Structure 1
C-alpha cells in the first residue's frame, strides 16, 4: 500500500513542471510578445552575464529611473534569485505599471 501511494505521488510530482520553470516560460512568452526585459541586478552582476536585450536598471536605482520606463509596454523583471525582481515588480505596480511579470532568477531565465 505504501509503495503504491509513493508511486502515485511521485508520478504526480514528476508530471508537473516546477513553479520556477513556469514563471520563466511565462516571462519568455511576454518577452517574445514585446515586453521590456529589465535586469534589476547590480551593474557588476549584469556585466558578468545577462540575457540578450536586457536593460540593466539596478533595484537601488529603480525609483529614480521609473520615469524612463514606457508605461504602455509590458515589463519582465529578473535578478539573481527572484527576490529583487519580486521587489521590483511590487514597486512598479506601486508606480502604476499594470503589466509587470517577475521572471525570477537569471539562471532560471536562461534558455
Structure 2
C-alpha cells in the first residue's frame, strides 16, 4: 500500500496539483473540518459507493489517524483502484480546512 504524509499532501495542494481526496471519517467528524475539496465517503459506505470512483484516477484516502483510511485503501486496491493512504490522518494535517 502506497502512503504519503500529511505534509506531502499539503505541499502538492499548495503547488497547485489536483488531488482526488476521499475522507472516510464519519459525517460528524468531517463537519469539524476537512481538507478543501475532499469528498466524504464514510468507511462503512466505501464498498457501496466505489462505483462513484474512476479506476483511471489516483485517490488519496484520509481519516482521523490513518487507520480507517488504511483499511479503505487496502480494500479499494484489492478492487483494482489506484490509492494512497495519508499516514497520520487529520491529526497530522496542518493545512487549511473547510
TM-score (norm 2): 0.80
Gaps of 5+ in 1: 1-19
Residue in structure 2 matched with residue 100 of structure 1 by the alignment: 83
Q: How many residue pairs were aligned?
A: 90
Structure with the larger strand share: 2
C-alpha contact 2:23 2:62 (8 A) present in aligned 1: yes
Residue in structure 1 matched with residue 7 of structure 2 by the alignment: 25
Deviations 1:4-58 (A, max 9, x none): xxxxxxxxxxxxxxxx9x6223334665532210000001101121110010000
Is 1:84 paired with 2:35?
no
Query: What is the CA-CA distance between 1:70 and the residue it aligns to?
Result: 1.4
Residue in structure 1 matched with residue 94 of structure 2 by the alignment: 110
In structure 1, C-alpha distance between the alignment counterparts of 2:66 and 2:78, rounded to whole Å: 18
In structure 2, C-alpha distance between the alignment counterparts of 1:94 and 1:39, rounded to whole Å: 19
Bigger RCO (CA 8 Å, 6+ sep): 2
In structure 2, C-alpha distance between the alignment counterparts of 1:73 and 1:29, rounded to whole Å: 20
TM-score (norm 1): 0.71
Query: What is the CA-CA distance between 1:109 and the residue it aligns to?
Result: 2.6
Query: What is the CA-CA distance between 1:100 and the residue it aligns to?
Result: 1.0
Structure with the larger helix share: 1
C-alpha contact 2:24 2:69 (8 A) present in aligned 1: yes
Larger Rg: 1
Gaps of 5+ in 2: none
